[in-house]
Structure 1
Amino acid sequence: MTILKADAVSAGYHDHPVVHEFTLSVEPGQMTAILGPNGAGKTTTLLTLAGVLKPLAGSVQMYGKTAPKSLHARAREGLAFISETRSVFMELTTLENLKVGQCDVARALDIFPELRPLMSKPAGLLSGGEQQMVTLVRALTRNPKILLIDELSLGLAPKVVERLLDEVRRAADESKIAVVLVEQHINQALSRVDEAVVLRRGRVSLRGQASELRNQKGRIQAAYLSH
């Protein structure tokens, strides 16, 4: 069953479209990456899937039905959204951040044992990667059916990116979460996702299985360079 679908979605701001006729279908346990240069419309697409932006045309569906209008309503239906801004409370400790997020702390530490010695440390003093672990684990432990992630790896070292993406992949496999992520690390994304879509100037310029696109990096680079 298709768990999340975008049907010819056009989206933008103040009635001005940035994304044109975007189509996507994601199944349970499937990871899809949205790739493209800066300004291609990746974040706008994700905000529309999340319910932050209303489509200018087309529709977004969840579980075969028209998706609720707002992010809050979609969250009640099992959608989790991680924005590009790290959503931790800087003045609260790691433990307090997990509790505020209604997180199963024991399960969180099973997923990221690296957080165990940091539980009493203010989140503002954590590294960028540690903050993203807190953000990601809060989403995962709430058992979403759909997870949307915008630039999880922004500003992070490659090894940290690998650690985060591996946990997202494991969650998709084990909990059958449908994942759509915007990612700047093309190689790391393609090594973990099932499918990828490349946006150029708000339109899909390339789409396919990740296993196939890994052998077509020249076409992906051309989409970036011709933006």
Structure 2
Amino acid sequence: MHEFSQINTELGNRFAQHLSAINRDVLPTETKTLWRDIAVRYNETQRAYHTLRHVRQLFEQFEQIVSHLHKPHLIALALYYHDVIYHPIRSDNELKSAKYAVDQLKGYLNDEQCRYIYALILMTATHQLSELTDDDKRSDAAYLLDTDLSILGTPWPEYERYARAVRQEYAHISVIDYRIGRVTVLQKLLAHPKLYLTSYYYERLEQQARENMEREISLLCAS
């Protein structure tokens, strides 16, 4: 409980800073209300991986790449909201999260900013860049997508914890069905010529990520 409180406070303060950097008129009470709702959702019982710990891990990555970003505060808000709606049995979580983000933020951001955050969150469903024409936006989107996949390139013990947490979220699925579905997902990722869109992440994590996923596939097929 202490860890959750610490993460909650840390991420809540960050959220307030990023939103206030975009809109100086936002009131502290408003940011607290917005954050409280985000935190409650990431603490839902059906989550094991898509929790505030996941968000914290993303912001550890964010700190490493923030100097590469053109609109860091918008990218930060997209990270906060990208999994705000999450039910393992549904396939439209990203769409619902995108809509939810815009609904919550439209009173504080302009229309263009809302459209961009909406597009960013939708892209996390496929981890492929959409038809963004602005080079700066495409670059920022690539970093966001790579950040979201950074867990794949962590050392094996951390990857293994991630894989176990994902399995826990799908506890309602039989062993055989989960094995088939998970292997399919991993093989689709491995089929991409490059997992990571930015040279920063490709150089650091690509090889480890592929080794991790291939190892997980081997373990799943052997079980």
Fold similarity call, TM over 0.5: no
Greater share of residues in strand: 1
TM-score by length of 1: 0.30
Greater share of residues in helix: 2
- Which structure would you say has the larger RCO, counting Cα contacts within 8 Å and 6 or more residues apart? 1
TM-score by length of 2: 0.30
